[in-house]
Structure formats: structure tokens, C-alpha cells
Structure 1
Amino acid sequence: MRKLTHILLLGLFVGGLFFSGCKSLKAPEQLPTFAPTPDSFNGAAHSSNAADIHWKSYFSDPNLVSLIDTALANNFDIRIALQRIETNKAQAERAKGLTLPFVTGAGTVGQRRFGKYTMDGIGNYDTNFSNNISENQRIPEHLPDFNVGLQSSWELDIWGKLRARKEAALARYLASVEGRNFVITNLISDIASLYYELMALDRELDLLKETITLQENELNIIKIQKDAGRSNELAVKQFEAQLLSTQGLEAEILQRVREAENRINFLLGRYPNPIIRSRNLFMTGLPNQIKAGVPADLLKNRPDVKQAELELAAAKAEVFISKAAFYPSLNITGALGLQSFNPQFLISPQSIAYNLIGGLAVPLFNKTALKAELKMARAAQVEAVYNYQRSILNGYFEVYNQLVLINNLEKIYDFKRAEVDVLNTSIQTASDLFSTGRASYLEVIFNRKSALQSRIDLIDVRKRQYFAVIGIYRSLGGGWK
């Protein structure tokens, strides 16, 4: 009766500990709160979102599409990200396996001899004189031991600690998948930006070659005028210096072309190769009008935001694991097999042996390490909260800034194009006036230089427009779907 009472008291104690522990473990953590995300980016919300457009539809240039396809297959950052996914996947599978019993097969062969003045030695010696055992059961002085069977251990997940570890590993695995998607988004954006930079440099080279031809003609004319006494050596040197300056600029642009091509080749995971690109599409048009959707779309489209959200989920699970470490762990170990000191009786029903042990362990003293683990887990959780909110805020401002930039670049392009038209007209005017002696050669040089710079600026504005529409596609989370 007393024994039954002790068992009941122990059961009540364990049950009370279990329910109080569950309540404590499920208590919510105090985490920072933040203002809600705005309903729109710039006062106008769109139901559609450019991030939902497949990148092959967003970028219609076939040469660019081919480059991106090659990069997606060969880029080393993507390959590294894929291996990181495999690592986290294996860790998730390992965490799942920890919730199941471990069963191993084992076989041992050994021999031992007990001292005559030990408890086992005296007991074995005395047993051999018993009339209750057969001759085959008598224990030899040099005692063999043959054992074959199964061994098992299992930690019962009474607090959900192992389940939380599995959830944390799964969240990190999914976060690594989003990390790969983020790499893809940035890779597509980088290649597209470099591609249009190359197209802009090609346009600048065409412009410089055209300008060099005109300047060479002007230099020849001024030399003829000098020979005729209508000009002087200073004018010749000024025109010659202008030509040399333009030729130097051409060499600089050629260097930038090689560097941009090599950056693309690196992203494609290959050694230097020619970059095939379109020549006549740069100034003709841009991708379709951008639809930014609503800021809430960032949560489902931007891989970095989703990655931060999953890292936060993993951090929350780690806090739960650290809290559960303060509570008892219940382990069950067991073995089932055949054991005999005589090998001829090993494979027989009489040699069946087993054991089954349940153990309850709870930390009582010196919990400093456990408390430190909990503090670190809580700090990591708060850090993950801040990182998640920062990723949302960063995504919002990236989209907002790109939308403003796109609108302003349209105005800048119109102004710059009008400026180019005016300066192109002034070049002819200055040349005509110079031919009749009503304008100096310095005015011709100044107008030519201003017109060249204005046309280069126009190309640069167009390039920035391409960069802006590429940037907003990346900022919205496009490209990885």
C-alpha cells in the first residue's frame, strides 16, 4: 500500500511539473513592435505587380535572355547557394530523425576471469556446487561471453523540444532556399545592368567615332585655311588638341567595354568570351510601364524578406528549445538479443536476454550555462526581429526610390534630348559663321565639345533609365519565380 502511495505521489509530481512546464514554455516572449507597412508606395496602389512577370517576358532582348540562361546554369554563387540548401536540408532531416528511436544491431565476443576474492568470483564458485543447475550451466573460471542482438534508445519529446528543433532546422532550410532565390534575383539584375551598360558604351563609341571623323575633317579645313592665310598655327593646335582629347576618350571607353564584358563573363562562370549584344535597341524604348503593386506584396515576392521571416521563425524555435532545457528529459533504453557463455547454446530460446530502462533527468544545480544559452537565444530572436523589420523597410524604400527615379528620369531625358537638338543646330550655325569669318575657331570648338558632352549625357540618362527599370524589378522581388 505504501509503495502504491509513493508511485501515485511521484505521478502527481511529474504530472504537475508537466502541466506547469507546458504553461511556462508556451508563455509568449516580449518582442519589439513596429508601425504597420503603408498601404502604397507613392500614394497610388496597383493591383498588378511587375515582380509577377517572368524575367524572360520582362527582358525581351534575345541576346540578354541567352546570357541570363547561361548564368543561371553556370554561375558559381548559385551553385554555392544550392550546396548550402543541401546542407540545411540534411540538417532538417537529421533533426527529424532525432525524434525517432535509435535502434542498432550489435554483437560482442569476450572473455573474463573474476578474482577469487571478489563478490562475482565467490558467487560463481559457489553456484557451481548447486544441485539446481545442469552440467552445461556450470560457470568456467575463464568465462567467455557471446552476445548478439538489438539495442535501442529513445528520448520522449514530452516538452516539444525535439519538435522545435525540427521546426528550426526546417525554417533554416527554407531560408536557404530563399537565399538562393535572392541570389538569382540579384544575378539577373546584375547581368541586365551590365548588358545595357555595354549597349550604352557601344553608343558612346559610335558617337565618338563619328565625332573623330568630323574633327579630322575640321582639322584638315583649318590647316587649309592656315595655308591660305585665313587662320593661324594656334587655331590648328586647338583643333588638333580637341581631336586628341576625343581619341583619348575613345580609348577609355574601349577599356570600360572590356571590363564590363569580363564582369559578365565572370557572372556566367566562364573565361573571356565575346558578348553578343543588340546594337540598335538602346535608344528605341524601355520595358513596359512598371506596376509596383502594394507594399504588402514585398512579403511574398522579395526573397530577402521571406528569408528574414524564416530566420525569425528559427530563432523563435531556438528560444523554445533553450527554455525546454530547464525541464526534465525522459529517456528509454532497451536491448533484446541472445547471450550465452557457451556458443553452442547461443541460438536457443533459453539464451534470450533483454533489458528495459526508463530514465528521468532534470538539471538541479549550476544552471549558469543553461541560463546563458537562453539569454543568447532571446538576443538572437530580437536580432532576427530587427533584421526582419529592416528588410521590409529597406525593400519599401528601394521600391519607392526607384519609382521616383523613373518619373524624374523621364523629365530629365526630355530636357536633355531638347538640349541635344539645340546644340546640334548650333554646331552647324557655328561652322557657317566660322566659314564666313563671323565666328572664331574657339566658338566652333566650344560648340562641338558641348554638343558631344550633351549627346554622351543623353546616352547616360537612357542608361540610367534602364538601370531604374531593372532596379525596381529587383526591388519588387522579380526574377526568381
Structure 2
Amino acid sequence: MKIKHSFNLFIFITAIFLGSCTIKNVPVAQKNSIQLPNKFEIGGDSVIIDSLRYERFFKDTVLINLINVAVQNNYDLKIAMQRVHIADAAILARSGRLVPEVFAGAQAGATRFGNYTIDGVGNYDTNFSENIDDNQKIPYPVTPDFNFGLSSTWEIDIWNKLRTQKKGAYFSYLATDQGRKLIITQLVSRVANLYFDLLERDNELKIVQNNIELQEKALELVEIQKLAGRVTELAVKQFNAQLLNSRSLEFAIHQEIVEIENALNLLLGRTPQNIERGVGILEQELPDINKTGIPSDLLLNRPDLKQLEYELEASQANIYAARAAFYPSLRLNAFLGMEAFKPHLVFNPESVAFNAMAGITAPIFNRRGLKANFKRVQAENYTLLYQYEQATLNAFSEVVTSLKGIDNSTRLYELKALQVEELRKAVSTSNDLFLGGYANYLEVVTAQKNVFEAELELMQSRKNQFKYLIELYRSLGGGWPE
């Protein structure tokens, strides 16, 4: 009866003590203070892309098939997926702490108490008592102990500390999943960039080979002119040197193609092999951009920003849990099973044993360590907040840069196309004038060199259009839904 009253008194005092405690001074979740404009604008016009999903953004079906292979086989993405599984397991582990832990076990041991100890004298003396039978006599001097049963321990989540830790694990999982999406977005961008690099080198090779044919014909022409005494050996040497330079460029481009193909195959998760191509870079269809307006809030769906946002939420949960560590914790422990000091008595109904205990523990001398941990998680929280704001500004800047780049590279391409057309006419004119004796060989060489360089610049301006479009795709987050 006394034990019952004592236990009730313990519960009553515990309830009053815990009820008087509240968790204070927990910072309110920090929010991004960056104010973004309502929409992006280029030269007074707002812009939007019809769809940011790569299956519809890119028009080249060969490129889309390559991206699909990369998403399926890329090793960085496979590693990221395993990180998601690890984060998912962390949620399960945190959930498990909210319910009692139950263990099944069996133990066997033996103890010899000293003859001049309470247990030693007590065990020796008990065996002479007339109140016990042979089964109750204690083995002496070594006392065995056999038991098996169920044991349980459970921390009562008074301050919602465990639930908050589970919430933090959930947000960490979401952040890890956004990290996986970020890798996919970056992977799509890298595959697309390498693919258009490959098309650029193919077109460059074609330009060089066409230029070699042109220079070979020019060399034949100048050699005939030399035999006729109209030019000197110097002209022949100039044309031949120019031809040799172009032939050397051809081999350099072949090597660059091999290197780009190998880099692309690595992203695709396969051994070096030939990469299939679609139409040439000058014939590639550009993604559609409509002058209809794009909300800057689309930026907030970027995987890297969403990842930081979820990490910030997880950090808030860590702050709460760190603060809750200053307060007492209530833990329940229990055991139910069979226990005896003789093996044949273990399964006797009278060997049933159980115990239950509730305990409160509160930190006293280790509060300095808890304060240090609390300051650490607070600093981590502000670090994540500043990183989030910085990443938001950087994302907005990237989008504006890409949009400006698309606009300027498009205008540049149009002018370069007109320049190439004029220079090609100039080459034809210089050849006619040279044959008629109205132009010297240096003018022919210069005309050929100018058209060669202009064709390369035209191709580069086309590549820049795709580069800025791919960068816009990446900077807007790759089209992931909210």
C-alpha cells in the first residue's frame, strides 16, 4: 500500500514539475527577404518558354534519346538516388523513437559473493531457514541466474522533441530528393552542351574540309600562273602554307571530336563509342520563346533553391530539438519474463518476474555542452538562410544573363550570316579578278581567309544561342513542378 501511494505521489510531483516547464526562446523560422520583380523582361518585352521539360524544350529527338540514356545510367544520379534512400531510412529511424522499444532476450550467469558481504551472509543464512523448501534454497557459494523475457524502454515525448526530430528528418529527405533533381537538371544541361559542342566540331570540320578543297584549287591555279610567268614562287609558297595549315586543323578537330564523344559517353554511363547525331548545328531548330511573360516565382522551383529551403526547415527542427535538450526527459523501463537461480525452475509459474520503473533526468553539469550545440545549430540556421538568399539573387542574375545572351546572340547570328554571304561573293570575285590580272595573289589569300574565319564565327554564334538557351533551362530549374 505504501508503494502504491509513493508511486502516485511521484507521478503527481512529476506532472506538476513538467507542466511548469515550457520551451522558450526558440527562434521563429527565418524567411527569404529577397524581393523579386514580378516578371523577367528583355528590352521592355517579357518572355517565357512554352515548356521547360527537356522532352519538349529540345527539338532534336537524337538529343532527347541521349538524355534519356543519361538519366537512366548516369552514376552520379545513381549515387544521388541512394542518398535519397538513406534519408528515407533516417525518417523511419526517427519514427521508431516515438514508440516503445521492445526486446526479447535470454541471459545466464553466475555470481560469487564475498563471505563478508550482505549478499554472501544473507544467502548462506537463508538456506538454514525453516520457511523455505529445497527448490528455494540458494546455490552457494556460487549463485547462478537464468532469465528470459521481454524488456522495454520508452522515452515519453514531453516537449515534442522526438516529433520535431522526425520532422527535421523528413525535411532532410525532401532536401536530398531536391538534390537528386538538381543533378538531373545539371546532367541534362551537360549532355546538351556536349552534344552541341559535338555538332559545332562537326560543322567546323566541314568548313575546314570545304576550305581545303577551295585552297587546293587555288594552289593549282597559282601554279599554272607561275608557269605562265604571271606570279613568282613566293605566291606558290603562300598558297601552299595556307593549305598545310588547314590540313593540320582537320586532325586537331578530329581529336577534339573524340574527346567530346568520350566525355559524353561517360555521362551516359557507357564505354567510348560513336555518338549518333541529328541535323547539323546550323539546321537545328531553336526552342520556342513566346513574348507572353514569365513570373519570377518560377525561380523558387529551382531544385537548388528548394533544397536550401528544405535544409532551412530541417535546421529549424534541429534548433527546437537542441533547445528541448535543456529540459528534463521522462523515460519508462519495464521487464516481463521468467527468472530463477536453478535451470529446472526457470519455467515454473512461480518464476514469473516483472518490473516497471519511471525516471526523470535533467542536465545539470553538462549544460555548457548543450549551450554550445544550441549556438552551433543557430549559426547553421543563419548560414543556410544567407546561402538561400544569395542563391536566390544568383539565380535571378543567371536568368537575366541567359535571356540577354539569347537576344544578343540571335542578332549577332543574323548579322554574321549576312557577312558570310558577302565574303563568299568576295572570294568568287577575287578569283575572277586574279585570273584577269586585276588582283594579286595576296588579295585572293585574304578573301579566302576572311570567309573561313567568318564561317567559324557564324557557327560559334549559333552555338552561343544554344548555350544561352541551355543555361536558361538550367537557371529556371529544368521545369520541375512545385
TM above 0.5: yes
Partners of 1:441 and 1:457 in 2: how far apart?
Answer: 25
Q: Hey, what does 2:38 align to over in structure 1?
A: 39
Q: Hey, what does 1:109 align to over in structure 2?
A: 108
- How far does residue 284 in structure 1 lie from its aligned partner after superposition? 4.8
- How far does residue 399 in structure 1 lie from its aligned partner after superposition? 1.1
Q: Hey, what does 1:243 align to over in structure 2?
A: 243
- CA deviations on 1:167-224 (whole Å, 9 max, x unpaired) are 2222111111111111111111111111111112111111111111111011011001
Q: Hey, what does 1:66 align to over in structure 2?
A: 65
Q: Hey, what does 1:298 align to over in structure 2?
A: 299
Q: Please give the residue correspondences for 1:365-404 in structure 2 after superposition, counting only pairs within 5 Å.
A: 365-404=365-404
- How far does residue 450 in structure 1 lie from its aligned partner after superposition? 0.6
- Judging changes above 3 Å, is the alpha-carbon distance between structure 1 residues 284 and 113 closer, same or farther for their aligned structure 2 residues? closer
- Judging changes above 3 Å, is the alpha-carbon distance between structure 1 residues 164 and 399 closer, same or farther for their aligned structure 2 residues? same
Partners of 1:32 and 1:101 in 2: how far apart?
Answer: 36
Number of equivalent positions: 473
Q: Hey, what does 2:166 align to over in structure 1?
A: 166
Task: Return the letter of the residue paired with 1:28.
Answer: P
- CA deviations on 1:231-269 (whole Å, 9 max, x unpaired) are 111111111111112222222222221111111011111
Q: Judge conservation of contact 1:78–1:184 (CA < 8 Å) in 2.
A: yes
- Judging changes above 3 Å, is the alpha-carbon distance between structure 1 residues 249 and 420 closer, same or farther for their aligned structure 2 residues? same
Q: Which 10-residue stretch deviates more, 121-130 or 384-393?
A: 121-130
1:331 maps onto 2:331 in alignment: yes
Q: Hey, what does 2:349 align to over in structure 1?
A: 349
TM norm structure 1? 0.93
Secondary structure of residue in 1 paired with 2:338 = strand
- CA deviations on 1:284-317 (whole Å, 9 max, x unpaired) are 53122267721111222x1111111111111111
- CA deviations on 1:393-421 (whole Å, 9 max, x unpaired) are 22211111111111111111111111111
- CA deviations on 1:92-117 (whole Å, 9 max, x unpaired) are 22122122211111111222233332
Task: Return the letter of the residue paired with 1:243.
Answer: L
- Judging changes above 3 Å, is the alpha-carbon distance between structure 1 residues 269 and 70 closer, same or farther for their aligned structure 2 residues? same
Secondary structure of residue in 2 paired with 1:109 = strand
Partners of 1:64 and 1:408 in 2: how far apart?
Answer: 25
Q: Judge conservation of contact 1:216–1:243 (CA < 8 Å) in 2.
A: yes
Gap regions ≥5 residues in structure 2: none
Q: Judge conservation of contact 1:196–1:282 (CA < 8 Å) in 2.
A: no
1:14 maps onto 2:18 in alignment: yes
- CA deviations on 1:301-348 (whole Å, 9 max, x unpaired) are x11111111111111111111111111111111111111123333223
RMSD value, Cα: 2.3
- Judging changes above 3 Å, is the alpha-carbon distance between structure 1 residues 115 and 176 closer, same or farther for their aligned structure 2 residues? same
Gap regions ≥5 residues in structure 1: none
- Judging changes above 3 Å, is the alpha-carbon distance between structure 1 residues 217 and 84 closer, same or farther for their aligned structure 2 residues? same
Q: Judge conservation of contact 2:281–2:462 (CA < 8 Å) in 1.
A: no
Task: Return the letter of the residue paired with 1:63.
Answer: V
Identity %: 40
Q: Hey, what does 1:476 align to over in structure 2?
A: 476
Task: Return the letter of the residue paired with 1:230.
Answer: R
Partners of 1:292 and 1:249 in 2: how far apart?
Answer: 45
- Judging changes above 3 Å, is the alpha-carbon distance between structure 1 residues 14 and 62 closer, same or farther for their aligned structure 2 residues? closer
- Judging changes above 3 Å, is the alpha-carbon distance between structure 1 residues 83 and 10 closer, same or farther for their aligned structure 2 residues? closer
Partners of 1:405 and 1:182 in 2: how far apart?
Answer: 23
Partners of 2:314 and 2:133 in 1: how far apart?
Answer: 63
- How far does residue 281 in structure 1 lie from its aligned partner after superposition? 5.9
Q: Please give the residue correspondences for 1:7-406 in structure 2 after superposition, counting only pairs within 5 Å.
A: 11-17=15-21, 21-22=22-23, 24=24, 27-29=26-28, 31=30, 34-42=33-41, 50=50, 52-141=51-140, 142-280=142-280, 282-289=282-289, 293-300=294-301, 302-406=302-406
- Judging changes above 3 Å, is the alpha-carbon distance between structure 1 residues 343 and 285 closer, same or farther for their aligned structure 2 residues? closer
Task: Return the letter of the residue paired with 1:160.
Answer: N
- CA deviations on 1:110-142 (whole Å, 9 max, x unpaired) are 222333321112222332333333332122213
Secondary structure of residue in 2 paired with 1:110 = strand
Task: Return the letter of the residue paired with 2:411.
Answer: K
Task: Return the letter of the residue paired with 1:259.
Answer: E
- How far does residue 480 in structure 1 lie from its aligned partner after superposition? 5.8
- Judging changes above 3 Å, is the alpha-carbon distance between structure 1 residues 417 and 74 closer, same or farther for their aligned structure 2 residues? same
Secondary structure of residue in 1 paired with 2:289 = coil
Partners of 2:29 and 2:91 in 1: how far apart?
Answer: 28
Task: Return the letter of the residue paired with 1:204.
Answer: E
- Judging changes above 3 Å, is the alpha-carbon distance between structure 1 residues 232 and 10 closer, same or farther for their aligned structure 2 residues? closer
- CA deviations on 1:131-167 (whole Å, 9 max, x unpaired) are 3333321222132211010111111111111112112
Secondary structure of residue in 1 paired with 2:132 = coil
Q: Judge conservation of contact 1:182–1:480 (CA < 8 Å) in 2.
A: no
- Judging changes above 3 Å, is the alpha-carbon distance between structure 1 residues 292 and 138 closer, same or farther for their aligned structure 2 residues? farther
Task: Return the letter of the residue paired with 1:329.
Answer: S
Secondary structure of residue in 2 paired with 1:411 = helix
Partners of 1:86 and 1:57 in 2: how far apart?
Answer: 30
Q: Judge conservation of contact 2:175–2:310 (CA < 8 Å) in 1.
A: yes
- Judging changes above 3 Å, is the alpha-carbon distance between structure 1 residues 173 and 8 closer, same or farther for their aligned structure 2 residues? closer
- How far does residue 32 in structure 1 lie from its aligned partner after superposition? 7.8
